[in-house]
Amino acid sequence: MLKSQQEKNNLSSTQLNTVIEELKRLINFLVTDSRKEHVFGVMKFSDRLAQRLSLNIEKRQKLFVAALAHDLFRDIEVHKMIQMAKAYGLDISSTENKRPILLHSKIAAEFLRIRFKIDDEEILEAIRYHTSGHKCMGLLSKIIFVSDSLEETRVYEGVEKLRKMIFENFEKGFFEVLKNKLNYVVKNNLILLEDSVELWNELILKGVK
Ligand SMILES: [Fe+2]
Ligand SMILES: [Fe+2]
């Protein structure tokens, strides 16, 4: 490896560590205690998956950042979410307008981009799509998406089976986590997000089952 390349990588690793420490500090006063447990659960679960999938240390650091940031604004008041989204110049869809809580994903990604100058799309999309998923999402986004549903504080029927499946066959497990999430949404008369539907259709068209 060229020395300049090595320095660049080292620097980015140092920067990521700084962001990780800063996020841990922010979490203490931005999220509730139970959410904090969930966030650290996502961090732990996603790292176990990263090791299972033999991801390198850089990808694991990126996952730490995404896990720590994904619900950073989940517990702030709804009117503040709207304020932040407007201040960041984000497009607010009609669904988000009616359910502003959905904005917490986009806001967190934008906060990271502006506050920490993070322009790494793998990190940003993992945060942005952690609730809905997206038909174009990459591996790190998929890891955060499933970890959000499978981390150790989550308790619901079938969670153990899904946890086992994700370590045996990641793509199959991902499909089943999405399916379970969509089933839950329909069963409880919740909002079916367009990105989730598109992702579902994409997987069906690819023949995943
Ligand atoms: Fe969330
Ligand atoms: Fe979450």
The radius of gyration of the chain's CA atoms, rounded to the nearest angstrom, is 17
Burial of residue 2 (number of CB atoms within 10 Å: 0-12, 13-18, 19+): exposed
Distance 68 CA to ligand 2 centre (A): 9
Which ligand lies nearest the alpha carbon of 42? 2
Distance 1 CA to ligand 1 centre (A): 38
Distance 64 CA to ligand 2 centre (A): 13
Which ligand lies nearest the alpha carbon of 67? 2
Distance 86 CA to ligand 2 centre (A): 23
Distance 104 CA to ligand 1 centre (A): 7
Amino acid at 74: R
Distance 67 CA to ligand 2 centre (A): 8
Return the HEC string of the chain. CCHHHHHHHHHHHHHHHHHHHHHHHHHHHHCCHHHHHHHHHHHHHHHHHHHHCCCCHHHHHHHHHHHHHCCCCCCCCHHHHHHHHHHCCCCCCHHHHHCHHHHHHHHHHHHHHHHCCCCCHHHHHHHHCCCCCCCCCCHHHHHHHHHHHHCCCCCCCCHHHHHHHHHHCHHHHHHHHHHHHHHHHHHCCCCCCHHHHHHHHHHHHCCCC
- Say whether domain 3-205 belongs to CATH 1.10.3210.10: yes
Q: Is residue 7's pLDDT more than 60?
A: no
Q: How far apart are CA 111 and CA 189, in angstroms?
A: 31
Q: What is the pLDDT of residue 10?
A: 53
Boundaries of every domain in the chain: 3-205
Q: Is residue 9's pLDDT more than 90?
A: no
Distance 108 CA to ligand 1 centre (A): 10
Summarize pLDDT for 106-157 with one digit per residue, the tens. Answer: 999 999 999 999 999 999 999 999 999 999 999 999 999 999 999 999 999 9
Summarize pLDDT for 48-75 with one digit per residue, the tens. Answer: 999 999 999 999 999 999 999 999 999 9
- CB under 5 Å of ion ligand 1: residues: 71
- CB under 5 Å of ion ligand 2: residues: 71, 148
Within 13 Å of residue 85, how many CA atoms lie on the same side as its CB?
22
Distance 208 CA to ligand 1 centre (A): 26
